[in-house]
Chain A
Amino acid sequence: MEFDFLSKNLGRFWELTGFANAEWGNIIMILVGLFFIWLAIKKNFEPMLLVPIGFGILIGNIPFNTAAGLEIGIYEEGSVLNILYNGVSAGWYPPLIFLGIGAMTDFSALIANPKLMLIGAAAQFGIFGAYMVALAIGFAPDQAGAIAIIGGADGPTAIFLSSKLAPNLMGAIAVSAYSYMALVPVIQPPLMRLFTTKKERLIKMKPARAVSQNEKIIFPIVGLLLTCFVVPSGIPLLGMLFFGNLLRECGVTNRLAKTASNALTDIITILLGMTVGASTQASQFLTPQTIFIFFLGFMAFVIASSSGVLFVKLFNLVLPKSKKINPLIGNAGVSAVPMSARISNNLGLEYDPSNYLLMHAMGPNVAGVIGSAVAAGVLLGFLA
């Protein structure tokens, strides 16, 4: 056996390895992926999302020789990762996640006190505030819309909309949305304290009335018809959300509701998180635009949380004294379910250990899910 033959083949193999193809971008992204995994495992920040995304970033940033045509990269047509990524690029994972969200969400708090829906609507100003900032920075309207949806604090909605309006920015938008959702406990409390007085934080709200089974069944049907007649472009998300909820509430499809809220959601979460992570290949992700997207995502969260709280204060001016709303539930208008509602509750208990706001905050919280899906539909309708 000739030495030349051996060295030639080993040399060729070396050219295929990650070591020979590594660039600084890959190393940086691998560090980002490791940071996400650390955040999830050590700090318990949204582990269900950050572990798949973090690991996906590792998968997507292992360098390889793209010219070799091995069909292994997420952007190479026909590769396994590319097939799994179709759910993201074609936008069919997010509606399935919404089916699961619908099947696990109890809308009772909202049905019992429908005016809380308006808080969910007000918090969507985060989206359109960020849209204005994105335009000012120099993004085109469609890109600005895709970035601004981060303010909806809803990962699936952000992925769905960006896959339609700005597919090239989707990786950065998705990672930004999920990162800030994980950071909601850090971002929101200072804003809630800033915009409320001590007296307002002590407002005790009346316990919500009991909601009948019939009302719970009517809600997803009427909700679907009303919202989708206004914004038909929201059908994929709202349709699945309300469908999932009907499965849960109708009482005769428990098995389907259980599958939608457990097994199906888990499967899609794994695939969605992993492929979104893998889509952040350094060559696509490490651009100046990504920095702007992260900045805009932060702005969107700040504006959304603040506008929710400020809207409640405004709303209280017209409400009778007995029906005042504690502005600490305003932040829950962003649809990071149930994290932001939990923050309202914790902050309420900090100022009054007997003031449990969780169930009240769940109203705007789930309204935020509907609101952000409607907002996504509006943006899609205007800009697609």
Chain B
Amino acid sequence: MNKRLLLILVAVVALAIGASAQSRKAVRINEVVVENTPEGIADEYGAHPAWIELFNSNFAPIEISSIFITTDPAHKVLYPVPLGDVNTKIPRRQHIIFWADNEPCKGTFHTNFTLTPGKDNYIAILDADSSLIDEVTVPATILPGQSWARTKDGSGEWKLRDGEGDRYITPSSANVIKDTNENIKDFAEKDAHGFGMAIMAMSIVFSALLVLCLSFYGIGKIGSLIARINKARSESTADNTISVVDVSHDTGEEIAAIVMALHEHLDAHDSENTILTINKVKRAYSPWSSKIYSLREVPQRNVRH
């Protein structure tokens, strides 16, 4: 393999690693309950510990094993998400809950720390190389059963949710629950006849093709200008040649001599390949490729009369 190919391969691998690392940066802390209540969500053992919801804001699954979750800025690698659990792969735009119960022996999603009610709780997630992915500080004022959540999944402001009205607590589901597609609803209500869509869409289609059309007018003009300049240049060169050299009186020998001189002068001969490679041509015998086993002639006895 030559060096160039090797370099390309290394670049591709580096890009792939970079892309994978990039994708883990899309994990977000999405909602936190510091003090869970019996009315709140229970873990698989029926207990009601504090929980931290993570959200994959990517449109592709993310494997989160080996990232760290911490509540201590000074101790970044507090809880490493264990390797080898298939459930640590968060599907695209989905959520996952970690129980902050200080009982990691209960399973992958039970951390080795708890959250402290009545105090500010710092929570951070860090990549395997300890680089920060996301962090939040849940205020001390949060009451039992209340959550500290983003207004939109993976983005937006952090707000207190107490379960009243639209401030519902949403463990392991979207922070904004949509029952309809807003775009479609909007079009159905405000553009019932489709005129708006027709006008907007046709304007966009026309604009896109008009821009392309104008660009190629420009490119065509530049191209023909360059062609004209090149033509004019070649014509002037041809004129000069004709005015200086009159080939009608030259013999073939003279022309050959001129060509040879130019050839020597410009050192234009091919560089000869001085490496001689001798490869042994070996034809391995195999009954699979043997003609004697594949010929389908019926043997005939020569009969002499």
Query: Which residues from chain A sit less than 8 Å from chain B, CB to CB?
Result: 110-112, 114-115, 117-118, 120-122, 124-125, 127-129, 131-132, 134-136, 140-142, 144-145, 209, 212, 214-215, 218-219, 222-223, 226-227, 230-231, 367, 370-371, 374-375, 378-379, 382-384
Contacts and interface: CB of A to CB of B under 8 A. Distances in A.
Contact of A120 (B201, B209, B223): B209
Contact of A118 (B191, B198, B213): B213
A131 B205 contact: no
A205 to B, nearest CB: 17
Give the 3 A-B CB pairs with smallest separation, nearest first: A132-B194, A128-B198, A114-B216
Contacts, number: 121
Most buried by A among B188, B197, B202: B197
A122 B183 CA distance: 26
Contacts of A110: 216
Contacts of A117: 209-210, 212-213, 216
Contact of A383 (B183, B202, B216): B183
A115 B213 CA distance: 6
Given A227-B212, A374-B205, A383-B181, 15 more contacts: A115-B213, A120-B209, A121-B209, A122-B206, A124-B205, A128-B197, A131-B194, A132-B197, A140-B184, A140-B188, A215-B220, A226-B215, A371-B205, A378-B201, A382-B183
A124 B197 CA distance: 13
A383 to B, nearest CB: 6
B178 to A, nearest CB: 13
A374 B204 contact: yes
Contacts of B288: none
A370 B206 CA distance: 11
Interface residues of B, number: 34
Contact of A121 (B210, B217, B224): B210
B208 interface: yes
Contacts of A230: 204, 207-208, 211
30 contacts: A111-B220, A114-B213, A114-B216, A114-B217, A117-B209, A118-B213, A121-B209, A121-B210, A122-B206, A124-B205, A127-B201, A128-B194, A132-B195, A132-B197, A136-B193, A140-B188, A141-B194, A142-B181, A142-B184, A144-B194, A215-B223, A222-B216, A226-B208, A226-B211, A226-B212, A227-B212, A230-B211, A371-B205, A374-B209, A378-B200
B261 interface: no
B194 A114 contact: no
A231 B208 contact: yes
B59 interface: no
A43 B154 CA distance: 57
B227 interface: yes
Contacts of A145: 197
A77 to B, nearest CB: 17
B149 to A, nearest CB: 26
Main secondary structure of the interface of B (DSSP, over half): helix
B258 interface: no
Nearest to B186: A141
A227 B247 CA distance: 56
Given A124-B205, A212-B227, A132 B210 contact: no
B220 A374 contact: no
Given A212-B227, A384-B183, A128 B201 contact: yes
Contacts of B197: 128, 131-132, 141, 145, 382
B275 interface: no
B201 A118 contact: no
A382 B187 contact: yes
B255 interface: no
A242 to B, nearest CB: 11
A198 to B, nearest CB: 30
B41 to A, nearest CB: 30
Contacts of A374: 204-205, 208-209
A329 B293 CA distance: 63
Contacts of B188: 140-141
Nearest to B211: A226
A135 B192 CA distance: 7
B10 interface: no
A142 B181 CA distance: 10
Contacts of A121: 202, 205-206, 208-210
B212 A223 contact: yes
A135 B223 CA distance: 47
Nearest to B210: A118
A378 B197 CA distance: 10
Most buried by A among B193, B202, B212, B220: B212
Contacts of A379: 201
Nearest to A379: B201
A207 B181 CA distance: 50
Given A118-B210, A124-B205, A227-B208, A129 B198 contact: yes
